[in-house]
Amino acid sequence: MKPATASFRALKLSSALLVAAFSVECARKSPDPKEEAPKGPPRVTLTAAAVSSAGIRVETVGLKAIGEILSLSGTLAYDENKVSRVAPRVGGHVVRILADFGEPVRAGQPLAEIDSPELGEALAQWRKSRSVYSVRQQDVERARKLLSGKAISQGEFLSREGEFRIAKAEFDNADSRLHLLGLSHTDFNALTSREEVSSSFPLRSPIAGRVVDRQINPGEVVETGKVLFTVGDIENLWLLAQLYEKDLSRVRAGQEVEVSTDAFPNENFKGTIDYVGDQVDTGTRTVRVRSVIRNPVRKLKPGMFVEARISVASQEPVVAVSQGAIQEIDRTPTVFIEVSPNVFEPRPVEIGRSGTTSVEVRKGLRPGERVVSEGSLALKAEIQKSELAEE
């Protein structure tokens, strides 16, 4: 090989190596045009008019007490101040039924007519003692006049006065017995004003309400004290629930209660706590709580099992936002931060306790940041629209 040829080949190889090295260096320094720069969180920029139209409201994040929801299970019962279990004070047999299931009744309205031999006997005794009393009263008045004219002795007058006092005591006793049989003033006057002795009397409702139960039929023999009718007003019911001892400091009389039941799954009923028990059950560590539940259309019934919810304040202030601020994006709770006027950025957060109007945010927000409290659904829709456009 000639020397010139060898030198040429060496020069050619050297040039090739230089080109290769230069290409590698260029490749190292020049980015791939197809390679994208890392993206930050997507932002939504709106006009002032669009913000107003979407109803977007912004609040400053702060510390506040969460109105937590305390759930209790309970049972509905009659308001015992507005229910009466009607029972006769004297036995007998039922002549007529005067009020049936569901009928509204007034206070004092007859529910049934009952024929009672005991009443007939008591009325007969009353008439007899009244007659004796009347005779003895006239006799002692005559004796008083005779004594003043010295027509009789003092001893004779005292004897007749004694007989009068005995007759009066017997009449008062018979009179009291009639009243104790449960007769109203009207019924008493009606029975005692007749010449003949009657043994029938009306069993009356002591309160206004509806007949919610009836335990008798015509011709049936009933005993003294047996409950024959239940009359109640169910426009207000009692909710009886058990409150755990640990929650006792958070519940008080006057708090609002919301009630739901499986019978009406899409409806809620309102009420107010009117009594928190003074004694802890040592077995269950619970306290009895009573609430008055409003039931104007009488959908709720005594004996129903219900779920009660009470709004109670958390014991310590926490970072919290309005419930409307939370949206779920990719199965993650998310809020929208106002990074500048009319510019919003989604931020995933970790939420905690939920109250009636607020939600605790455990991670992802600091007090002082500006977060969308209303209208965040419109911003979520803008984010999703942008993602679909990119796809």
Q: Are residues 100 and 138 in the same domain?
A: no
Report pLDDT for 21.
39
Report pLDDT for 391.
61
Alpha-carbon dihedral sign for residues 355, 357, 359, 365 = negative
Mention every residue, 6+ apart, whose C-beta is less than 8 A from residue 203. 86, 88, 110, 111, 112, 113, 114, 228, 229
Distance (Å, rounded) from C-alpha 216 to C-alpha 33?
Answer: 95
Report pLDDT for 30.
47
Structure tokens belonging to residue 94: 């039922």
Average pLDDT, the chain: 85
Which segment of 36-40, 100-104, 125-129, 147-151 scores lowest on mean pLDDT?
Answer: 36-40
What per-residue string of b and e applies to 334-352 under the rule 16 or more CB within 10 Å gives b? bbbbbeeeeebbbbebebe
The answer to whether 245 and 280 are in contact (CB under 8 A) is: yes
Q: Are residues 185 and 141 in the same domain?
A: yes
Instruction: Evaluate whether residue 11 is within a structural domain.
Output: no
* Cα-based angle 113, 116, 119 (whole degrees, multiple of 5): 115
Q: Which of 178, 209, 233 is the last residue of a domain?
A: 233
pLDDT > 90? residue 150: no
Q: Are residues 92 and 221 in the same domain?
A: yes
Distance (Å, rounded) from C-alpha 378 to C-alpha 384?
Answer: 10
Q: Are residues 180 and 226 in the same domain?
A: no
Report pLDDT for 69.
81
Report pLDDT for 12.
44
Report pLDDT for 149.
83
CB atoms within 10 A of CB 197: 16
The CA R_g of the chain, rounded to the nearest whole Å, is 45
Distance (Å, rounded) from C-alpha 171 to C-alpha 121?
Answer: 14
Query: Do β-strands 256-261 and 264-281 pair in parallel, antiparallel, or remain unpaired?
Result: antiparallel
Report pLDDT for 284.
92
Instruction: Evaluate whether residue 384 is within a structural domain.
Output: yes
Instruction: Evaluate whether residue 163 is within a structural domain.
Output: yes
Q: Are residues 164 and 181 in the same domain?
A: yes
Instruction: Specify the DSSP element, H or E, that contains 89.
Output: none
Could you tell me the CA-to-CA distances from 79 to 251, 264, 267 in Å, in that order? 21, 21, 21
Report pLDDT for 7.
45
Q: Are residues 137 and 177 in the same domain?
A: yes
Reading across the β-sheet that carries 110-115, which strands appear in turn? 200-204, 110-115, 92-97, 221-222
Instruction: Evaluate whether residue 3 is within a structural domain.
Output: no
What domain range includes position 294? 70-79+235-313
pLDDT > 60? residue 16: no
Q: Are residues 242 and 289 in the same domain?
A: yes
Q: Are residues 278 and 165 in the same domain?
A: no
Distance (Å, rounded) from C-alpha 300 to C-alpha 162?
Answer: 64
pLDDT > 60? residue 3: no
Mention every residue, 6+ apart, whose C-beta is less than 8 A from residue 42. 345, 346, 383, 386, 387
Q: Are residues 172 and 188 in the same domain?
A: yes
Q: Are residues 333 and 371 in the same domain?
A: yes
pTM of the model: 0.59
Which CATH number does the domain housing residue 163 bear? Answer: 1.10.287
* Cα-based angle 16, 17, 19 (whole degrees, multiple of 5): 65
Which CATH number does the domain housing residue 246 bear? Answer: 2.40.30.170
Distance (Å, rounded) from C-alpha 351 to C-alpha 216?
Answer: 60
Mean pLDDT of 36-61: 82
Structure tokens belonging to residue 182: 């449960």
Instruction: Evaluate whether residue 35 is within a structural domain.
Output: no
Percent of the chain with pLDDT over 90: 51
pLDDT tens digits, 84-128: 999 998 899 999 999 999 899 999 999 999 999 888 888 888 888
